[in-house]
Amino acid sequence: MAILRVRDLDIDFLSGGRYLRAVSGVSFDLEQGEITALVGESGCGKSASCLSLAGLLPRPQARTQAREVGFTLRDGTTEDLFALPPRRLRRIRGREIAYIFQEPSASLNPVIRIGDQIAEVLALCRPEVRDRRKRVVELLEAVGIPAPEKRLAAFPHELSGGMQQRVMIAMALAGEPRLLIADEPTTALDVTVQAQILDLIDRLRRELGMTVLLVTHNLGIVSQLADRVLVMYAGNIVESASAEALFSSPAHPYTRALLRAVPRLGGAAGRLETIPGRVPSIADYPPGCRFCGRCPSARPECARKDPGLREVAPGHFSRCPESPQ
């Protein structure tokens, strides 16, 4: 069952006195209890799309619209998030939808002890909790922080990057959300800590029955964790498939290029394959396929006509009209 249905999401940003469309016609479903990965290079619109869902993009600098952003609440009712008044949307943030951001050191308040920061989330999202200190200790213990009672009085700078990210996860879990959006949650962490944080998210997802939207550019992470994958390029979803189908039969040239660029243990010696060129700026999106300027298989008509997503196999959608290779 889909707990989130997004249909035709558009995001415009104000630049030079006019709005430019950065994200166009994005549609996807998030299924209950699954991990969906949103992948692509930096600047493709991944974070903006996620922030828009709960109304976190700044206004009037950003402007959003969609045919539907339907979210199923824990009581079984479905709300269109873009149609909600600000007061109602604030009640959904934290309680129903929670975020983990890229840089925990920038997200945590440096002058407030971590126990108080988590307790503040409880006060806002779970006011029925009477013994907040006990619950904060339980949350810190759940995310694998040793001696949680002693850590309550710690300031963020007294913790390592990995521990700070665990605190961020504890804060996200404090509201007992149905949907957890993790935006590059392992950025700037070493490889060992990255694995620990991702294993933690996956374990908590299974134990709590949460749905997770994982934003990343690391396809190695995706192959290990994700049930379904959305590939984003220049503000478009260019491919959508189960993780198994995407890795075994990638349909879009951009997806195939991303997979070829992944380093492999025991692979051939030499330079890693790269994708020539760069993601176009939002002011320079072509009218047709936005990847055509970097695609080795591009034809003249690719630059003129947007092919749109089409089903190339059951449950597998691609924006490229060519057959999967």
| Strands, sheet with 236-242, edge to edge from the N-terminal-most edge strand | 97-100, 179-183, 211-216, 35-39, 228-233, 236-242, 316-318, 310-313
**pLDDT value for 220:** 81
In a domain, 209, yes or no: yes
- Max intra-chain CA distance, the chain: 66
Nearest to 284, CA basis, from 275, 273, 293: 293
How far apart (Å, rounded) are the C-alpha atoms in residues 230 and 235? 12
Is residue 66 located within the same domain as residue 204?
A: yes
**pLDDT value for 241:** 96
Whole-prediction pTM value? 0.92
Is residue 56 located within the same domain as residue 182?
A: yes
**pLDDT value for 274:** 84
Range of the domain at 323: 1-96+177-263+306-325
Is residue 191 located within the same domain as residue 312?
A: yes
Is residue 13 located within the same domain as residue 117?
A: no
Q: How many domains does the chain have?
A: 2
* CATH number of the domain encompassing residue 33: 3.40.50.300
Is residue 129 located within the same domain as residue 143?
A: yes
Of 148, 172, 196, the last residue of a domain is 172
In a domain, 121, yes or no: yes
**pLDDT value for 269:** 59
pLDDT along the chain (325 residues), means of 10: 95 94 96 95 93 94 96 93 93 93 87 96 93 95 91 94 92 94 84 85 90 90 92 96 95 93 67 84 90 89 87 94 57
Residue with tokens 């079984």: 76
Nearest to 314, CA basis, from 238, 236, 248, 240: 240
Query: Dihedral through CA 233, CA 312, CA 317, CA 264, nearest 10?
Result: -60
